[in-house]
Amino acid sequence: MSNLVERALFNLQKRRMNIINGNINSIPSPFKRFKRDFIGFEQGSFLGISSFTKGSKTQFTLYMLFEAMMYVYEHQDQARIKIFYCPLEETDEKILNRFMSYILYRQTDGEIRISPQNLRSTDNDNPVDEEILNMFHESPYKEYLDFFNETFIFIESKNPTGILLDCVNYAKSHGTIHKRKYEYHNEDGTIEEREKFDYYEQDDEFEYRFLVIDHISLIDQERGETKKQSIDRMSQYCAMELRNKYNFTPIVIQQQSTANESIDAYKLDRTRPTKDGLADSKYTANDENILLGLYSPFKFNLKTYMGYDISKLKDNIRFLEVVVNRDKPKKFILIIF
């Protein structure tokens, strides 16, 4: 057998034994009814999330990340997690505010429900209760914030090459690159022996490493490139380098084109997120393992949708759909309130 075949068979057997021994091969999806089509976060998988403007893409993505993070917090014997977050639309502190609101709601089983905006005392007539702020200095909230601080690594680089280097530098300092020799034929006919990348091995095989780009149309363009060319470059880096070589799990947030929000699109019933509707570049969907679409019927003035009374639910409901799945052609819709 070749080294490749031996390594592949070894990895398959090891993954089987992980499950038998009570370990995991993926961080479970927070949506149990959606598990058939989106099983969860797997190392070395590329995920895209798309919807129209104000479609809750960031909130939805952060919710999934917070759920993944808390799963790891509660199962530290099974997994570790690092989230490299490129916040092109929100500040680091506002993302932390979202986590604080989330953890209050989660820990109190919904009794404390306070938005990040209210947590910041934005309403001059209604400052946040001091008791709520004091809770973050006590257990278990203090430990949750410490874990957030250890888990989230906010990337300052905004262009594709800088983002790639930040992630690769972490991978190199927390793993080993194995190389193999090959013969290189020079133009003069001579042959020299060189080395090239063979495979990468993490120091901690159970560490999940995410790269989140929110959102990809806001990345800085590389010198001399158009926006589309830089988006395509970033997508290729996510797929060919970070996913395929270094076992990262990239998550790219991308808007749907405004053309799909037009009256013509509404008349033709083409308002749901699609691969062809991705804004600025459709190339990303070709690289992604899974593309999830979020849909708000209220945005398109629908009175009912799939049996739900949108006139009553208004903008408080989203429909989640698998738009692209390389491994499973089946589509399934999950309703999120």
Claim to verify: residue 181 and residue 129 sit in the same structural domain = no
Domain of residue 105, residue span: 90-156
Alpha helices in 30-88 (DSSP H): 57-74
Claim to verify: residue 54 and residue 191 sit in the same structural domain = yes
pLDDT of residue 110 exceeding 60: yes
What is the sign of the dihedral through the CA atoms of 114, 116, 121 and 123? Answer: negative
Claim to verify: residue 77 and residue 94 sit in the same structural domain = no
pLDDT of residue 331 exceeding 60: no
Distance CA 247, CA 265 (A): 39
Kindly report the average pLDDT of the chain as a whole number.
90
Claim to verify: residue 169 and residue 251 sit in the same structural domain = yes
Average pLDDT over residues 135-162: 96
**Range from 31-40, 44-53, 55-64, 287-296 carrying the lowest mean pLDDT:** 31-40
pLDDT of residue 321 exceeding 60: yes
Claim to verify: residue 127 and residue 232 sit in the same structural domain = no
pLDDT of residue 238 exceeding 60: yes
Question: Tell me: the pLDDT tens digits for 160-178?
Answer: 999 999 999 999 999 999 9
pLDDT above 70 coverage of the chain, percent: 93
Claim to verify: residue 117 and residue 204 sit in the same structural domain = no
Confidence of residue 265 (pLDDT cuts 50, 70, 90): low
Total structural domains within the chain: 2
Average pLDDT over residues 66-81: 96
What lies within 8 Å, CB to CB, of 312 at 6+ separation is none
In a domain, residue 10? The reply is: no
Question: Tell me: the pLDDT tens digits for 203-223?
Answer: 999 999 999 999 899 999 999
For residue 255, which of 85, 55, 62 has the smallest C-alpha distance? 55
Claim to verify: residue 202 and residue 261 sit in the same structural domain = yes
For residue 319, which of 28, 46, 56 has the smallest C-alpha distance? 56
